[in-house]
Structure 1
């Protein structure tokens, strides 16, 4: 009987994980130890590389004093030599990653900042710098600085500031948490929409400048010049 019982209790081999399962980053991170801090880094989808932020993150991770579960959405920036690197996340995957994260580091994109706060994070923000070829203009710097002054983001414009913020977050993630506030969320969404329109206008103006200069050199330019 004991031999038969032992045979009966022997389970079938566990079916292998499907090919689509590993691609779902939030599910991967669900398997990390409970004590591990989950850090999401998002640089957005802008076509300019953001090597500076990714390099600063990799340097910090190499020296991090505690367990960290990383998801690094690096976009058009070269892939960092850290675990959890992925070029892009779909909207749903990004929302889930933000919901699962203990800390969020991101560029100064208004939409990314808005979503991080909606999920209860005080985002650690490194704005892109146009002088370094990271964006077309300085709107991320202006926007992030204003939010930083208002206490709506943790602004980090240097490597030391970012590393200090991450070290503090690793020690106490609650320092970078905010309470859910649906009313404020709606107000911030409206504000971000206004900022987005301003940015679009600035970019449109900058792209029109060459053609307007050429129009200035041609006859019959008067009506066009006054717009």
Structure 2
């Protein structure tokens, strides 16, 4: 089973829902999908959907899942990191009116420097679903931490 979570943000994350629909319609995903859709106004066909999931139930769903696909919210990232499950993050973007700013894109860029899988397209999702791997931000090496700091400095230069 694949678990998809978009959090509780007030803005719909329909782009991710359309990516899932594309993979389902092209028969590139052949397993059960549970979607926590928040405020999305488009839902992928053939999936089990929940607008919201209580934290205890959410943790149980994560444990049952083969893979988790989630938005790049800080709380979600930290939770997924503790639960020892392969996950891929999809950042919300202000460009697509999915958030008020691009902090999720900035976080995703920094996490990708640390080896955390990030999906920038449906193809990225498909590649990860076909060859998932588990990663942890708590296993950061010194070189990864330095790379992360350089990346953050490039995005947020000192004034």
TM norm structure 1 = 0.56
Question: Does the CA-based 8 Å contact 1:113-1:123 persist in structure 2?
Answer: no
- How many equivalent pairs are there? 138
Report the equivalent of 2:154.
Answer: none
How many angstroms apart in 1 are the aligned matches of 2:49 and 2:55?
17
Gap change, CA 1:49 and 1:176, over 3 Å in 2? same
- Please tell me the root mean square deviation across aligned C-alpha atoms, in Å: 2.0
Rounded to whole Å, the distance in 2 between the matches of 1:137 and 1:66 is: 31
Partner of 2:114: 150
Q: Which residue of 1 aligns with 2:38?
A: 75
Per the alignment, in what secondary structure is the counterpart of residue 69 of structure 2? Answer: strand
Kindly provide the CA deviation profile for residues 72-129 of structure 1, in whole angstroms up to 9, marking residues without a partner as x: 1111002332321111111111111111111010111011112112111242111001
1:122-141 matched pairs, under 5 angstroms: 122-141=86-105
Which residue of structure 2 aligns with residue 101 of structure 1?
65
Is there any run of 5+ residues in structure 2 with no aligned partner, and where? Answer: 140-159
- TM normalised by structure 2 equals 0.78
**The structure with more helix, counted as a fraction of residues:** 1
Between structure 1 and structure 2, the one with the greater Rg is: 1
Which residue of the partner structure matches residue 114 of structure 1? Answer: 78
Mark the runs of 5 or more structure 1 residues left unpaired by the alignment: 1-37, 170-174, 186-227
Contact 1:58/1:82, CA 8 A, preserved across alignment: no
